[in-house]
Structure 1
Amino acid sequence: MKFETPLIVTERLLLRMATKEDIPLIIQYFADNKTYLTPFYPRWSEGFFTEEYWQLQLELNLHEFVNDCSLRLFMFLKNNPKKIIGIINFTNFVRGVAQYCNVGYSIAETEQGKGFMTEALQAAIGYVFQELKMHRIMANYMPHNQRSGNLLKRLGFVVEGYARDYLLINGQWQDHILTSLTNPSWQAK
């Protein structure tokens, strides 16, 4: 049985799960943005910048999507579909009486301030709410990352709390502001 993965199309972007043909593009995205992303990322895993690592990662991503555990999307420009400009990861799917997940994202340093992440997240959130039937999406950001805070506010995320030493980012425990967005038209699958 062939499993269909999502293709989310916006005015300027294509959002989709990566395939093995995309591995060089993924490695290029992270290599080009490593210095920029390092303060916002966990420590880079051994082998992170290798084809072998990404071959396994993409198999895991597909397995998790098929088993309703995560959705990991890569952002491509519509007019340049051979270049990744960002990623959006919906992870930690919890079903039952909860129906929620977390979202994390990054965008290339050179593509900041162009509205791409707002456009991408609006479309991806629509997919997660309508097609995957999530009730709540949670996003957390470090207090000094005001760009991320402003983005989430623009998208309608509401601050719900402050967690001290919440995530291990670049080898240091970092405080995070906790936010969420709920699906106003949620209906059971």
Structure 2
Amino acid sequence: MLWLRPALRIEAERLHLRLPLHSDFRAWSALRAESADFLQPWEPSWASDHLSRSAFTARVRWANRAAAQGTAVPVFIIRTEDQSLLGAITLDNIRRGPAQAGTLGYWIGAPFARQGYMREAIRALVSHAFGAMDLSRIEAACLPENAASRRVLEASGFKYEGVAQSYLQINGRWRNHVLYANLRHDRRGRTDAGL
């Protein structure tokens, strides 16, 4: 008998998180194109085929494979009231064994920024990670000058932990990143985020 895994869906107040579908291509490519100037300063350089159907198909396949294998939770952020695609959030680099940790990454379309959607999505995914997945630590990193990303992490319970030199290649250059973490059993007080 074939056992089908239930579809991943994480509910929040105004939105839900779910795996990307092939039918999301038009909404995804339109939102990424419309938000390019807003997103590109904070992201790795886009490949020439970044917005192509073939690149999106590869993303969908990877997302489904990674979710099935338990190595990542790559989900789209969907506004429940009208099913609009708002952005994406991924819990990646999931480490089991003594670490029980993962790394958070996210983006939101320019029209939906600064409306609390990303904070809601982060809180929902972190709750899922600490509960259903039994992880202990969620890490995140962003550019030091990305004040909006730092604020959303702090508002979502992440605490500043330091700076990683030449952490990621962003927009074609190796860049330092500030590191944050959210711990399931956090005994730390508030930390100075260095803003």
**2:62 maps to which residue?**
60
Q: Give the deviation of 1:46 after TM superposition.
A: 3.3
TM-score between the two structures when normalised by the length of structure 2: 0.90
5+ long unaligned stretches in structure 2: 187-195
1:166 aligns with 2:167: yes
Q: Deviations over 1:6-65 (max 9, x none)?
A: 211222112111111112211112111111101011111232111111112111111111
How far off is 1:169 after superposition?
Answer: 0.4
Residues 91-145 of structure 1 show CA distances to partners (whole Å, capped at 9, x for unaligned) of: 1111111010100111111212211111111111111111111110000111100
Aligned to 2:102: 101
Deviation at 1:158, TM superposition (A): 1.4
Over the aligned positions, Cα root-mean-square deviation in angstroms equals 1.3
Output the CA distance in 2 between the equivalents of 1:88 and 1:151. Answer: 13
Identity %: 27
Where does the alignment leave 5 or more consecutive residues of structure 1 unmatched?
none
Number of residues of Structure 1 aligned to a counterpart in Structure 2: 184
Q: Report the Cα distance in structure 2 between the residues aligned to 1:100 and 1:65, rounded to whole angstroms.
A: 15
Q: TM-score, normalised by structure 1?
A: 0.93
The secondary structure found in structure 1 opposite 2:10 is: strand
Per the TM alignment, residue 80 of structure 1 is displaced from its structure 2 partner at its CA by 1.4
1:75 alignment partner, SS class: strand
Moved over 3 A (4+): none
The match for 1:5 is: 7
CA distance in 2, matches of 1:21, 1:147: 30
Matched residue, 2:86:
85
C-alpha deviations, 1:133-184, integer Å up to 9, x for none?
Answer: 1110000111100111111111221111111211100101111011101112
Who is 1:37 aligned against? 39
Q: d(CA) in 2 for partners of 1:63 and 1:159?
A: 32
Where in structure 2 are the equivalents of 1:16-165 lying within 5 Å? Answer: 16-81=18-83, 83-165=84-166
Amino acid at match of 1:10: A
